[in-house]
Structures are given as structure tokens and as C-alpha cells.
Structure 1
Amino acid sequence: MNMTERFRPHRPGPDGTKPHAVIIGAGVGGLATGALLAARGYQVTIFDPLDAPGGRAYAYRQDGFVFDAGPTIITAPWLFEELWRDCGGRLADDVEFRENTPFYKIRFDDGSVFNYSGDREAMEQEVARFEPDDVKGYRSFMDESRRIYEVAFEQLAAKPFHSISFTAKVLARLVRLGGYRSVYSVVASHFKNEKLRNIFSFHPLLIGGNPFSATSFYCLIAHLEGKYGVHYAVGGTNALVRGIASLVTRNGGTIRLKETVETILTKGNRATGIRLSSGEEVSADLVVSNCDPASTYGKLLRDHKRKRWTDRKIARGDYSMSLFVWYFGTNRRYDDVYHHTMVFGPRYKGLLDDIFKKKVLAEDFSLYLHRPSASDPSLAPEGCDAFYVLSPVPNLASKTDWQEIAKRYRKKVEQRLEETLLPELNKHIVTSRVTTPVDFHDRLLSWEGAAFALEPKLLQSAWFRPHNKSEELENLYLCGAGTHPGAGLPGVVCSARIVADMVPDPKAFSDRRNGGDTFQ
């Protein structure tokens, strides 16, 4: 049974006995929120314009290959175990996680390679190969990463920053953590070797941040990975998506696909439902948006008078970079290529300046090469390999004409891979597709084609990020990459948990709502 059949749009309305939660977007954040709310006793309906759940974690299936469209790295596996538990299931019954060891291989432009893992002794040996004097710095950096993790992730990631008093209460701790510093500046204070500085500072790029401006809170990723490992889902990340979607439907929720939400309906200062592009209106006791917050406020609430997230504020935001992604399959296997490989180009800071500040498409690039069939041969036909290669690029504020340049850019990426990791690649490609920033804008409804919503800078994090409980409307909540705590699979699952904890107990809804009122 294919995904479109399994989650075919169907229209049973709310059963009349449960409060109705409408969720806009079937990405991981929307699905996780829907699963938790359904388990709590809400009647849940999720709407999504695509033909299968997943959003950025969609899967392309063509010519016998399976390509995860977006996320490929799973950290914090316990968050998913807790999600299944709270929805009445067991993760291991639906999804199998396996650990990558090492986590990544990092290839520099001169051909040198660093094997990045969670083994402290092996990591110290790798660091020593590059700069023996930096072993001490590695130890002190990992200690700092742990301290940041213990506050920024363990204590604050699942807490809503919608209250000034709460924010003020934790501000001193945030200042002590040095959140005003950038990730790169923290790393540079521990390491002398420039390659090592790049190795230990690139992680914010995985969630849309520039290491030279992303708040140092994201240094926590090193400890998170080291403590819990880097995993993949057998069958691809979309297998995890399908599992979360099944939690929704098992608890009575409905997923309506190929349905685009055009407007969030309001009455006074309350969200009361949604209007679809077909003209159908669906009433709700609460609305949860898994959309990019800029699109939520700038498009879905374009006719509603807003106090904080005005059109001007949205336009002045700093949005993450976008991505150029090439998915391809080969009729041979490249068994010496690892599951996750970072292919660094000749420049680091200069390239990031071009992407984030100057917003120009540079001639050089750094790449992330994903070869899932290295660990899971089921994702490609026998004797073949499935790949995707990702290049961080400016978002659509760059005015790059991707229709004109995409083919040439793809060819440059192909040549680079042939020179470095995949000899004679052009002779072995049997299937191919490309995603550009235009696809993020048009297909995923992402503001400016940004791949990760707002850039995770200090003044766009925590209280400064769009709140999980909307500042503009009662009964409206936000989940996903653009709200607190931010992008990445752990972030969006935490956002779902925050929303599920904040919404009213469904038992608290009065029978009066059957007369047309919603809970306040």
C-alpha cells in the first residue's frame, strides 16, 4: 500500500463529544503534536498540501530508489521513545533505529579526513593527528558543551518562552552560559588549529544557523551526539514519519492530504478554524500551525490585525539559508563512501559570509553527501546506491534565478563529487532529481525559500522567537522549526511536547461550545 492510499484524505467531521484540534501541516512537528493531542482526548484533523505526510521529511520514490527529502540524522532517540509511550505504543514495534559509527567523515579540500564519533579516546586520537596541542582544548570544549546542554537542552528546550517573567528568571543562567557568543567564537577559544575549529563549529548548519552568528547554545550538539549517538531509521527517516502518522490515526485522528489551508479563521481575538483553498471551512476549538511562522502570520493571518508579528517585523527577520539538494541513484555501489560525509570546500568563513550576509551564490561550495544504502541496502535496487548531496545556498533574498542556473549548478556538484569521492559518477547515474530554494518556497510554503525558518541567532531564539502559544490570538499554537526551541528533529518534537502541555485539558471544555463558543 502506498502512502497516498494509506493516508487518503477522508472527511469524517469531529464526533461532537471531543474538542476539535486542527493542525496545519503534516511535518514531523505537526504529526507529533497531533499524536499527543489525540492521545490526550482531542479530535484531531491534520491538513497538508502534499500527497504524503512528512513535510521536509517527505520521501521521494522513483525507479526503485527511496530518497529522504530532508532530515537524515537522528539524535536524542529517547524523545521518540517518549512520544510513542505517551501515545500508547512502543517505538521498537514500529521503527528501528541503528547507530552510525563513526557519526560522520569530514573531508577537507586537501584530501585530509577526520572521523567524527562519540568515542572520546578515538576522538582525542583524531584531534591529535591534526594538532596534538588541541587535545586539551577538545576536552575543555566537551566540558563546556556538556554544561550548556544541561541547561539549554535539559532544562529549557521543552519549556515555553511565552512569559516575560519566566524569561527574566532564566536570563541570568543564559548569560552565564555565554549565549551572546557565537558557536565559532566558543570553539575558537578551545582550539588553535583552523581545521579543528571548522570541525567543531559546523553543527549549526544542520539546523540553519551560521556558526559565526548562531548563539553558542548550539555548542550543546557536540555533547548531545556524544552522549546518545547519531542514528538512522531503517527504511529512511520517512519510516519514522510513517510511524508518527500511525500514532495519529490509531488514536482516532484524521490526516487530510492534498489539502491547502488558505486562511486561519478568527472571531475577535480567537482562532476559530481554517478555510481551505477549496473554500471549505472547518471549525476548531484550537488551531496549531506547523507552518513557517512567517507564513502563518504573513499569509494565513494576512487579514488579521497583528501587534507583534506584523508584516514589517516579518520582513525584517533574518532567515536561514536555503539548500540545493540533488538526489541520485547509481547502477554501481561505492562501498568506500560512508553513510554521512561532509565535503568541505576551500573556504569556510568566506563561503558562509556569501551565503548568510552577502546572499550571493558563490562559485565554490561545501557539501553534505548522504549515502543511506551504505547502511540500508533496501533503499536502492540490488547492486545500486542511493545518494543525496546537499549544498547550503542563500535563500531567495539572493534573487538567484534557479530556473536558469540549477542545471549548471548540479553539473558542478557532480564534477566535484567525481574529483573527490565518486569516480566516473556521470557514467553510473540512473535516476536523478533536484530541489532548489524555489521548491522550499513553492512546495513547502517556506518564507523566502529558507530551509529552516528564522536563523537561530540569540535575538531570534527563546523568548525572541515566535511563541508556541501565539502572541496574536487565543486558541492558536505554533510548533515546528520556526518556533521554540528551533529546527532539527529534537527541536520540532520538543515544540510538539510544549504545545501538548500548554493546551487546555479537553475535559475542561464546556458543553456550551456546542452552541458555537470555543474554550477560552
Structure 2
Amino acid sequence: MKKKKTIIMGSGFSSLSASCYLAQAGFDVTILEKNDTIGGRARQFKKDGFVFDIGPTFYWMPDVFESFFNDFKTSTTDFYALQKLNPAYKVYFNKDESIAIEDNLEKIKSTFENIEPNSGKALQKFIKKSEDNYNIAIKDLVYNPGESVFEIVNWETITKSGAFLKTIKNQVAGYVKNKSLQKILEFPVLFLGAKPSNTPSFYNFMNYADFELGTWHPMGGMYEVVKGIEKLALSLGVKFETNRSVTSINLEGKQVKSVSTAQQEYACDVLLSGADYHHTETLLPDAFKQYSELYWDKKTFAPSALLFFVAFDKPIEKVTHHTLFFDTDFEAHAETIYDTKTWPEKPLFYASFPSKTDAVAAPEGKEAGIFLMPIAPDLEDTPEIRAKYFDKLMTRLEDTIGSEVRSHILFKESYCVNDFKDDYNSYKGNAYGLANTLMQTHILRPKLKSKKVDNLYFCGQLTVPGPGVPPSLISGKIVSELISKYSKS
């Protein structure tokens, strides 16, 4: 029997995942990637012996990665080495107050208890609820394709309906009163791309991922995960072609017959896009687009980001592998992202120093620093604005750690809204997809299967289950099951 020819646009985590499942199911799979390396947002920047992950830097939910590789009778250990971080991360609230989150719940409870009496016991109860929600979400709900509301309306979710009506912010305030501890419990929801005050408390399952499953680092960087999945995909027969930007989707009736690039035309029986959903639909005639420009414009997008990749000629003190600078008002910063859509005056930011853990990241005696500031999508992006905020971030870093770092910078590179648009055709230059608000959950997200083109499918952070690397791996799995289901019918 002839294998169905499947073209996948883009090579991010969801596309890589789908390619493996489809190849395993007997499809002839070719991935077309517009950039010169695969991985989508999860690429690397290398210079003068320094290695920076351009995209994701947090390795959370290790069970999802393990489950993916187990589906192919392999393990993460066959492809890369993991190290659990201790501390998982450190949070600065000002230069005199910081909290380090250690590598197991008992230690974290002690940290909480030292700051607020009885908060350790409260945290235990909170994490138990978080674990219950994690088991419902990760072991059941997120593996549904979002075709019917009854995928999420069942006895377990009905009995937890309050978890969809109360917000993370309200729930957290019911467990701990200390503002710094509240911020730590609200922090993981930022990975879902929404405000704690606008995210259903059901999503507290991210706290279980944080405190119980831990924060890990793939030695060599997150790109080692990309390389691992690529190796698996190649062993299954997947073909990769880079520098292949799809310029048109060619239809016959309601069927995709081929896609065109500058180099050639690729015939296909199935087209799966792991590229930006909005961009993909711009390659279709108007009559075959599912979602209007107004639809996309009204959606609540997760933030974009201003990133800096900085090489230092010496180790940076008083920071850990992952360090969060929450020394300004989070609500005020969040307001600039989701409400006023302006550049923030006093931004929060995150810094990763992978060379604290991984010798590959920087030459001996030197430090690699990745700085990320979340911002609203589609902001004006100029060299002058980038320089202004780099100065702000370095000033805050120096004030917080109490030492001068600017004279120790060997080089720096920046990445922002315009780069997200240019490199990934990202709608409004967003970095993380659609926010996981109540009105953008599950069936209310853009569909995996086109309603207007019979053999066109989508995966990735703009569809189900949502933003983040683990959800992207899951998105690749569920769309491949959907393709297999409809290809047989």
C-alpha cells in the first residue's frame, strides 16, 4: 500500500513530535523549515565559544518528555543527559530580599514556613490540589483534540467547576498572605502566557510541575532535545529540508494538492502546519480561511519578549542558573502587556545563566547570560528602544547583586518583536502563542483540523493544548492521531 505523502510546515517541537508519530503510523513525512536550522523557536546562537538557547530555557514536566520518547520504545537517556537544578531558581524581590526554591517539596515547605508561620502546611494542601489537577489535565484532558466540549465536561471537571471560575490569584491568596510567597505561587502561570488574575485556578497544576517534578537542564542546552527528536525522526524515515519557506498552498477543490517554495513544488496527500496559524491561513484563498483578521485581532495573545544574549568575561555572582527579578510591581508590568499594550517603565525580567550548570555554555572562567523581558506583542521595535532597556536591565542587575558588570561584557546580541516576525512569521511578533484564559481554553482555541480544507491540519502553540514545550509535544501527538483517524475514513 502506498504511503500517504505528508508535508509538515515548520520544525518546532509540535512539528517534530507529529513527524515521529506520523512516520510510525506509516506516513511518508517531509518537514519544510524556512530557517537554516530546525527547531523553530528552540534554536541556538553560538559565538566565540558561548552557546545560548534562543527560545525555551526551562525544562519542566519531565514526565511528558519521557512519555513522548517511551511511545517509540526509547527514553530521554538515549538522546540527552538531564540534571536536576538545585536551586531550581532564585527570585529577587529587592536587593536585600530573595528566595531560592530548592529541589524538593519538603525543603520548599521549610522555606515558606520560615517566612510565614503555618504556610508550609498550607503549601502542602495547595500542592495536593495542584497534583489532583495535574493528573486530570496531563493524563487526560490535554490529550484530547478539542473537537467537542464533552472532552472536558465530565464528572471530574464538573466537580471541580469552581476551579474554572476562581482565578489563580484568588486561590493563592487563600493559602498564603505574604506577598513574596504569593508571587512565587503565581509565577508558574506565566508559562501559560496569561495574568494570574485572569487564569482559571485549575491551571495551578503548574505548581505541581514546579515544586514536585522539579526544574531540569538538558546538558548542552535545550537544543539537545531538538537534536534528540531529530535523531528519532530520522530513524523513522522523516526527511528534513531547511531554507524552504512555503510561499503558497495549492488547492484543487477542498483539497491541498501541493505547496510551493522558491525552490520547488511539493505534492502532498496531507498538509500539517506547525508554522504560525494566522500566517498559514494567509497562504490560502479567502474563501478557505477559517478565521478572519478581526478574529485574530480580538484574541488575547501571550507576550512577546525582548531578549539579550550576553557574554561576560567573568562569572556573575549572587545569581543562579534561573534567576527572576520581581523587584517591581508585577500587576503594573502585566497591565502594559495585556491592557495598555505599551513598553513598561519598570519591567520585571528573567535571567538564565546556563554556564552555572553547563560547561558547554561558556568558556572556562566566563559566563553566558540570557535576559528576557516579557512585553506586549506588536510594539514598536527599534535599536534605540532595545538599547534603552538593556541599560535598564543591567542597572537593575548591578543594583541587585551589588557589583558592576558592564565593563565585563564581551559582546551582546538582542532579539525582539521584529525578529519573531521575520524568523517565524509570528502573528504580531508574539513569542508564546495564545494566552490560556478561560475563553481561550480547549474547544475555544483554533482547531487542529481545518473546517474548510479537508486535508489541512495545524499544531503548535496557537491551537490545543496551548503554549510551552510539553504542550507542543502533546499537540504533535494528538494531531497525528487526528490525521490517522480522518485518513482512514
TM over 0.5, shorter chain: yes
Mean Cα deviation higher: 151-160 or 135-144: 135-144
Tell whether 2:475 aligns with 1:492. Answer: no
State the partner residue of 2:249: 264
After superposition, residues 209-288 of structure 1 pair within 5 angstroms as 209-276=194-261, 278=262, 280-288=264-272
The 8 Å contact of residues 94 and 327 in structure 2, kept in 1 or not, is answered as yes
CA distance in 2, matches of 1:272, 1:126: 59
Instruction: Mark the runs of 5 or more structure 1 residues left unpaired by the alignment.
Output: 1-15, 510-518
Of the three residues 265, 288, 291, the one matched with 1:305 is: 288
Q: 1:124 to 1:227 in 2, by over 3 A?
A: closer
The one-letter code matched in structure 2 to 1:490 is P
The one-letter code matched in structure 1 to 2:172 is V
Tell whether 2:407 aligns with 1:427. Answer: yes
The one-letter code matched in structure 1 to 2:309 is Y
CA distance in 2, matches of 1:252, 1:408: 48
Mean Cα deviation higher: 196-205 or 172-181: 172-181
1:152-192 deviation digits (Å, cap 9, x = unpaired): 22210111111244355579538525223322122122221
Q: 1:283 to 1:173 in 2, by over 3 A?
A: farther
Of the three residues 323, 340, 346, the one matched with 1:358 is: 340
Q: Secondary structure at the match of 1:346?
A: coil
Q: Secondary structure at the match of 1:301?
A: coil
State the partner residue of 1:11: none
Q: Secondary structure at the match of 2:462?
A: coil
Across the aligned residues of Structure 1 and Structure 2, the Cα RMSD in angstroms comes to 2.2
Residue 492 (structure 1) shift = 0.4
Residues matched between the structures, number: 489
Q: 1:427 to 1:116 in 2, by over 3 A?
A: same
Residue 38 (structure 1) shift = 1.5
CA distance in 2, matches of 1:80, 1:58: 18
State the partner residue of 2:274: 290
The 8 Å contact of residues 334 and 422 in structure 1, kept in 2 or not, is answered as no
State the partner residue of 1:368: 350
State the partner residue of 1:325: 307
The one-letter code matched in structure 1 to 2:122 is G
Q: Secondary structure at the match of 1:200?
A: helix
State the partner residue of 2:129: 144
State the partner residue of 2:455: 475
Instruction: Mark the runs of 5 or more structure 2 residues left unpaired by the alignment.
Output: none
The 8 Å contact of residues 63 and 431 in structure 1, kept in 2 or not, is answered as no
Q: 1:164 to 1:199 in 2, by over 3 A?
A: closer
Of the three residues 190, 193, 208, the one matched with 2:178 is: 193
The one-letter code matched in structure 2 to 1:468 is L
Q: 1:318 to 1:102 in 2, by over 3 A?
A: same
The one-letter code matched in structure 2 to 1:349 is E
Residue identity (%): 28
Tell whether 2:13 aligns with 1:28. Answer: yes
Q: Secondary structure at the match of 1:423?
A: coil
1:82-133 deviation digits (Å, cap 9, x = unpaired): 3333335443122111111221111112531112235222112211232214
Tell whether 2:94 aligns with 1:109. Answer: yes
Q: 1:99 to 1:422 in 2, by over 3 A?
A: farther
Residue 476 (structure 1) shift = 1.9
State the partner residue of 1:202: 187
CA distance in 2, matches of 1:43, 1:72: 32
The one-letter code matched in structure 2 to 1:423 is S
Residue 327 (structure 1) shift = 0.4
State the partner residue of 1:10: none
CA distance in 2, matches of 1:93, 1:384: 30
TM-score normalised to the size of structure 2?
0.94
